[in-house]
Amino acid sequence: MATITGSEVLATALRTQGVDTMFYLMGGPMLETEAACIQLGIRAIDHRHEQAASFAAHAYTRVMRRPGVCMGCSGPGATNLLTGVATAFTDCAPLVAIGGSSPRVYLGMEAFQEIDQLAVFKPVTKWAERIYDAKRIPDVVATAFRQATSGRPGPVYIDMPGDVLGEKVEEDAVKYAPAWKPAPRTLGDPAAVKEAIALLAKAERPMLIAGSGVWWSDGAAALQAFVEATGIPFYTKPISRGLIPEDHALSFLNARSKAFTEADVVLAVGTRFDWMIQFGRPPRFAADLKVIHVDVNPTQLGHNRAVDVPIVGDARAVLAQLHAEAQGKINPKTYASWTGKLRTLDAEKGSEQDKAMSSDELPIHPLRLCKEVRDFLKRDAILVVDGQEILNYGRQAIPTYMPGHRLNSGAFGTMGVGLPYGVGAKVARPDKQVLVLHGDGSFGINAMDIDTAVRHRIPVVCVISNNGGWTADTPWTRPLPKPGRNLGHTRYDRMAMDLGAHGEFVEKPHDIRPALERAFASGKPAIVNVITDHKARAQTVRFSAYTT
């Protein structure tokens, strides 16, 4: 009777769960698993750092709306995945991370690269488990996928001791679980749905805030249908932009602050009251604001902000319920005065921003760079933004029109995600235009992933807003230079060319568009290195406000 190794069982178990792509950095004891995955037809993208591999898998997860897989070897190889896993945890993304580890027979004996990886990953995962028996691998892998995708999504971690991977078992003794399937959609309490619609019908200034829970539930169409049926203006959290096209008649991006402070009823769907919206508390929102909160995770209801109408359920399913209940009970014209006010303010601020974005001044203002990127991108392009100043300027200035087509540093504020996110997004959607808008500081964290893109022929284009350092070079809390701020205007375009990518160097505004055209026409991974104003500082919330 034939025998197979634990590594082969793991590879087959992953393939059985529908895995067609993995992101990794080679190393023991995962080498045989990685080789077996490739033999089974799984596309394997090897990175120059495990952190980049976990970021790329995260982007693949977000764009495809199904679990991406990343792998690292034992010890530091596994712990290098940690930042990416923590980012996925904060973003509620169903990433599957697998780490090789020291042999089970030597646990506690200070073996080579031994550390309790399970203990390390448990605080930043939805579920984590170590496998002690090769025959259990298919069951544990199936459980991992189910845990990652059921209810509130989140990353999972599987710890694979080297001797379990090398263990030989009878092939007939291994039973593979069926591929994971999305769990049935949970409906909200009909009484709560009725109460929510009754509250919205009495509102004068209602507003809807949608989060990534709508994306994970495939609820973009249901969200748009509800918005259009009720006439309620909407906003999306940063990592869920594009659920409804941002040039929609009820989208008022430039009037966000006014809408938040003056709304009398907020319907929050598939999102958390976290720091991104100042915990739903004053002064960001009115103290007497009425809140309807829809979330698949009941523990989120009432967290940070009291909720008047809590609804537990799948975002897409509950939106359909709300839509049906609203028929004949909410007249979109009821809110005409409110939406008119927001529309006027949105147009005024948009006009002011357009003037700033049209500046020909030197050095190039980051908003001018954003304008050129905005005007160049196709409507269905995938945009990744990572950095400090450019992240905030890009947030204000570049709209998104398609769900799942905007990626950024997320709720964890992770720097260095840009290029790896771009790689993962382009692997997921090779037919889409993928552009990464990067700060020069954040680019440097995973800059060698341009080599990954070159070796695997992944034509992602990275545009660097190069202001010569971390953040704008402006006064901070003390009349002293910012410590460690200056990086110099490194020729990242030349570095890219030395690694086989296309490179462009830009110092004048009118040269940005031609550089973008050449970069995409090259068919190669590309770096467009744009020198921008080092004193331009985007307005953002004071860091101290995040913790108060």
CATH number of this structure's domain 358-544: 3.40.50.970
Domain 190-343 has CATH 3.40.50.1220: yes
In this prediction, residue 487 carries a pLDDT of 86
Query: Cα–Cα distance between 296 and 417 in angstroms, integer?
Result: 27
According to DSSP, the residues that pair with 10 across neighbouring strands are none
- Average pLDDT score, the chain: 93
Name the DSSP class of 285: S
The predicted model gives 530-545 an average pLDDT of 71
The domain limits of the chain are 3-173, 190-343, 358-544
pLDDT tens readout for residues 410-440: 888 899 999 999 999 999 999 999 999 999 9
pLDDT above 70 as % of the chain: 97
pLDDT at 109: 73
Picking from 343, 335, 341, the residue whose alpha carbon sits closest to that of residue 232 is: 335
Question: According to the model, what pLDDT value does residue 543 have?
Answer: 38
| Structure confidence by residue, pLDDT tens digits, 16-52 | 999 999 999 999 899 999 999 999 999 999 999 999 9
pLDDT above 70 (res 541)? no
Per-residue model confidence as pLDDT tens digits over 451-487: 999 999 999 999 999 998 888 787 766 667 778 788 8
CB 415, CB 381: distance < 8 Å: no
Tell me which of 230-234, 389-393, 421-425 is least confident. 389-393
Question: How far apart, in whole angstroms, are the C-alpha atoms of residue 502 and residue 536?
Answer: 28
Give the total residue count for the chain.
548
Residue ranges of E strands in 241-308: 265-269, 290-295
- pLDDT bracket for residue 112 (50, 70, 90): confident
- Per-residue model confidence as pLDDT tens digits over 318-347: 999 999 999 999 998 899 999 999 999 999
Whether residue 494 has pLDDT greater than 70: yes
Relative orientation angle of helices 315-326 and 190-202, to the nearest 10 degrees: 60
User: pLDDT at position 478, please?
Assistant: 64
* Superfamily name with CATH number, domain 3-173: Thiamin diphosphate (ThDP)-binding fold, Pyr/PP domains (3.40.50.970)
pLDDT digits (tens, 9 = 90+) for 202-229: 999 999 999 999 999 999 999 999 999 9
Q: What is the pLDDT of residue 136?
A: 96
Could you tell me which residue, 308 or 540, shows the higher pLDDT?
308
